[in-house]
Amino acid sequence: MQAQRPEHEVTDVWEPVPPVVTPVVGTAPPSDAIILFDGNSLNNWTDSNGNSPQWEIKDGVMTVKPGTGDIRTKQGFGDVQLHIEWRTPDVIKGEGQGRGNSGVFLMDRYEVQVLDSYENPTYPNGQAASIYKQHIPLVNACRPPGEWQTYDIIFMAPRFNAEGRVTHPARITVIHNGVLVQNNVELWGDTRFIGLPRYIEHSMNEPLRLQDHGDLVSFRNIWIREL
């Protein structure tokens, strides 16, 4: 005869057991992260022609080389957690969208804006940590120019049906310098400078892209976890 389980145990779920990972200490990547940039090489990246990027690496930091174009990871990704650190130039040049502009493009087409938005007005749906031309960040958590800033991003890729129509739009959460700025918002489509966003079917794995917008924006410590 089986002993009766206590009532409170009926709702205990024992499977699956989450795998153990070493959590983040400071800005170091957790043990199961894919390191996309460790400060030494751009081996995991290509330029728009499939060649080795010409962006500069110095002192563990990569910096946009204006005019050489965007760079993309060789590997494609879908649902991810992404950590990336960025810095706009300490010498202020330009204003609005022309000041420290770059961008983190999930799946090559959904942009989290990188901009020096420290006392630098622009249209809010284009300021730092906006989902460019879609979602205004909840707050402006920008540090002054020349200081390192972090994005921790949780991105859920869109799903498409057999006809290529979106069934589940992409969703994104962004934490900027430890502050929640995008709370699981739904994307309306891909990022467009002109016109309204819309979805065009794509694969479940697309590269991460960083933007050359002509400004000397730097990056370091980029890692990603597939979800």
Considering the complex, what minimum distance in angstroms separates the CB of residue 115 from Mg ion? 7
For residues 57 and 126, the answer to whether their CB atoms sit within 8 Å is no
Residue whose structure tokens are 């000041």: 99
Considering the complex, what minimum distance in angstroms separates the CB of residue 209 from Mg ion? 11
Compare residues 33 and 62 and give the one whose CB is closer to Mg ion. 62
Question: Binding residues for Mg ion, per CB under 5 A?
Answer: 101, 103, 211
Compare residues 206 and 215 and give the one whose CB is closer to Mg ion. 215
Residue whose structure tokens are 């957690």: 81
* CB closest to Mg ion, residue no: 103
Compare residues 39 and 96 and give the one whose CB is closer to Mg ion. 96
Work out the burial of residue 82: count CB atoms within 10 Å of its CB; fewer than 13 is exposed, 13-18 middle, 19 or more buried: buried
Compare residues 33 and 113 and give the one whose CB is closer to Mg ion. 113
Compare residues 29 and 53 and give the one whose CB is closer to Mg ion. 53
d(CA 205, CA 216): 29
Considering the complex, what minimum distance in angstroms separates the CB of residue 188 from Mg ion? 17
Considering the complex, what minimum distance in angstroms separates the CB of residue 88 from Mg ion? 11
Annotate 67-81 with b (16+ C-beta within 10 A) or e (fewer): eebbbbbeeebbebb
At 124 the three-state DSSP class reads helix
Sign of the dihedral through C-alpha 140, 141, 147, 150: negative
Considering the complex, what minimum distance in angstroms separates the CB of residue 147 from Mg ion? 19
105 Cβ contact partners less than 8 Å away, ≥ 6 residues apart? 70, 111, 112, 191, 208, 209, 210, 211
